[in-house]
Structure 1
Amino acid sequence: MGEVLETRRSKTNARFDELQIELSTAGKITANRACVYATGSFGRGEASDHSDLDLFIVGLGKRKRRLSRLQEICLEAELISATRRLKIREFSGDGEYLVHYTQHELVEALGKRHDDAKNTFTARLLLLLESRPVLGTQVYDKTIDNVVEAYWRDYEDHKNDFTPTFLANDILRLWRTFCVNYEASTSSEPAEKKAKRKLKNYKLRHSRLLTCYSALLYLLTTFVTQHTVHPKDATSMAKISPTERLEWLISQKTLSYKARKTVRELLEHYERFLEATDRPENELIQIFLDSKRSKEYSRSASTLGDLTSEALERIGQRSAFYRVLVV
């Protein structure tokens, strides 16, 4: 782990501690009823001074929610007040994503048409890929277990050669969903708006790519090593951050030297991205207004994609699971 990543993790941990102290009253609201988990840079353990806080609320209950509507409103008010006291940026989208789901809704929507429309798809996948509990750790752990169990529903019939195709396909779908073209579509669009879109695309091709593919690399390594993937392997994967997954991969002596070397290069490249983006958004926009510097940053994002592809190939070794990921 490099100095940049170590600093980011340390800062994130400190800010989490502050947030949880501020939310002592909110903890009484969620007790044995719900959890609140962070995603985004806070969930990935790499928040900077300029990061905002992305939160999801998940409660218990099937026909009747354990967290009532009034309790939900009080909880949201506590979350908003705490972030303001700590001078954390306002919730994105004017708080439109600060929504209360139930465990049942996250699992029931799996594979259904309304999964995207209700945003349960994103809430469920980010829970597994880049989350960290803020409140209600026991409910959070149980939610992860229930979601993994839903994805592993056919495991009992394939214990010795289980391929987590269902989850892998959803992770790939999430990545494709993220891959919206943020580049300017018309020449009449203002230069600053174009630059902002390029910046968003640059961040997408680093942080979101690593969120998705660190999980796929972790599961692929597990399959290649064990010839199957146990539900507990997925739970362990969900409990660590994307960069921690890369560190885990580097530590796996069962992988070839070349595979571990590629993953190490991938992690080092990602750290350079974290260093490059550790500044206010208005400063980053100025960089992307400069066409020459903008192209340099774009090439950096392409390099990360190349390293990810190389890691998949070196680890996959043309296994059955590797084939699922590429075809």
Structure 2
Amino acid sequence: MNEIERRRLSTSERFAKLREALANSEKILEQKACVYATGSFGRKESGSSSDLDLFIVGRSRSMEDGTDRPSLKRLDEICVKADLIYQTRQMGIPDFDGDGKYLQHYSVNQLTRSLGTPEDDVTNTFTARLLLLLESSPLIGVSIYEEVIESVIGAYWGDYPDHSSDFAPAFLVNDILRLWRTFCVNYEARTEREPEEKRIKRKIKNYKLKYSRLMTCYSALIFLLYVFGEKKTVSPDDAKLMCGMTPTQRVEHIVKEVSDDRVRETLVELLRRYETFLMATSVPEAELIERFSSSQDGADLNKAANSFGDAVFESVSAIGKGGRLHRIIVV
């Protein structure tokens, strides 16, 4: 069993245990909302010290003034959040990042109606929506989760009925690229003003960004490129298939399907480099801090991360082959 498979198994076991412990919250959410994980748990590659990144998303209910609100009422939302906090602590999972600041609740209408608007970034619906599609796993409320996925894909594929034979998902592609660049910009904005004692941990975050977030975004682009190259279109069902896979599973799927040996070898090398990253980060945090405190070790790790970026570029180029969707990604 390689490191990618070991992490998937370990994460799935912990996820199943947590889901069982949240039986009461499952009842509260019934037919109203879902809770999904993103980050390392969503990608099914969590380590022993990984925290849990969660979003709550559900159906909407119409109000008398013409607006809509989430179907899950405020007090029920509080009960679910309290249960999530308690059960994760019981399992020894670190507390939610930002003291719970990012444990947010949206209606599906908020995720879809904000698409392409200035409010998308301000309300954080942009991140919630993209991570839902690119690296999420449902924790509770699976049927609502599937409903939400379908609604969000429908928003991006609105023009598909009139262009079903040659649909290129340009809107989603541009949002994926924007997400990746937002990750990069946010990192740079923070590092400029941080005190020296926090720089080592920030270097580790940057190192992980160059692998995990890059794989999250570009595995989706690689998948879409592959499907478009094979079918000359990308259907909503293709998008659902993509969303049902973790980032590494998308690459593995293409490895099994592709007939071009050169492309297959390029993708296998991409997975090999990613597995090396997972192995490097499987050590205790103190050991990782020590490695990045060493100028030589830190330089070696960053060099490997840059090489992974090269492997991603080679994969995109090998599959895109200069086609129409490839051009949309580049320009």
Asked if these proteins are the same fold (TM beyond 0.5), I'd say yes
Cα distance between partner residues in 1 of 2:228 and 2:258: 15
| Corresponding position of 1:272 | 276
| Corresponding position of 2:64 | none
2:195 is equivalent to residue 196 of structure 1:
no
2:291 is equivalent to residue 287 of structure 1:
yes
CA shift for structure 1 position 274: 0.3
Match of 1:56, SS state, is strand
**Stretches of structure 1 lacking an aligned partner (at least 5 in a row):** none
2:239 is equivalent to residue 240 of structure 1:
no
**Stretches of structure 2 lacking an aligned partner (at least 5 in a row):** 62-67
| Corresponding position of 1:325 | 329
Which letter maps to 2:19? Q
State the identity %: 49
| Corresponding position of 2:262 | 258
CA shift for structure 1 position 283: 2.2
Distance 1:189 1:106, change over 3 A: same
Match of 2:69, SS state, is coil
2:263 is equivalent to residue 298 of structure 1:
no
**Residue of structure 2 aligned with 1:177, choices 163, 182, 192:** 182
| Corresponding position of 1:34 | 33
Deviations 1:149-208 (A, max 9, x none): 00001111111110000000000000000113458547x942x32211111100000000
Q: TM-score, normalised by structure 2?
A: 0.95
CA contact (8 A) 1:35 1:58 kept: yes
Which letter maps to 1:21? E
CA contact (8 A) 2:70 2:106 kept: no
Match of 1:264, SS state, is helix
Cα distance between partner residues in 1 of 2:183 and 2:285: 20
2:2 is equivalent to residue 3 of structure 1:
yes
CA shift for structure 1 position 64: 3.4
Instruction: Using the TM superposition, name which of 174-183 and 87-96 deviates more.
Output: 174-183
Deviations 1:33-67 (A, max 9, x none): 00000000000010111110000000111413210
Match of 1:272, SS state, is helix
Cα distance between partner residues in 1 of 2:279 and 2:22: 30
| Corresponding position of 1:145 | 150
Deviations 1:54-113 (A, max 9, x none): 000001114132100000000000000100111111000000010110000000110000
Cα distance between partner residues in 1 of 2:320 and 2:9: 33
| Corresponding position of 1:15 | 14
1:62-141 mapped onto 2 (5 Å cutoff)? 62=61, 63-141=68-146
Q: TM-score, normalised by structure 1?
A: 0.96
Cα distance between partner residues in 1 of 2:236 and 2:246: 18
Cα distance between partner residues in 2 of 1:172 and 1:14: 32
Cα distance between partner residues in 1 of 2:95 and 2:240: 31
Cα distance between partner residues in 2 of 1:24 and 1:146: 26
Cα distance between partner residues in 2 of 1:165 and 1:61: 28
CA contact (8 A) 2:69 2:107 kept: no
Q: CA RMSD in A?
A: 1.3
Cα distance between partner residues in 2 of 1:185 and 1:117: 22
CA shift for structure 1 position 253: 3.0
Cα distance between partner residues in 2 of 1:236 and 1:253: 16
Match of 1:179, SS state, is helix
CA shift for structure 1 position 279: 2.1
| Corresponding position of 2:23 | 24
Which letter maps to 2:205? K
CA contact (8 A) 2:156 2:171 kept: yes
Which letter maps to 2:301? Y
Which letter maps to 2:281? T
Deviations 1:215-253 (A, max 9, x none): 000000000000000011001100110010010010113
Cα distance between partner residues in 1 of 2:277 and 2:49: 15
Cα distance between partner residues in 2 of 1:167 and 1:57: 22
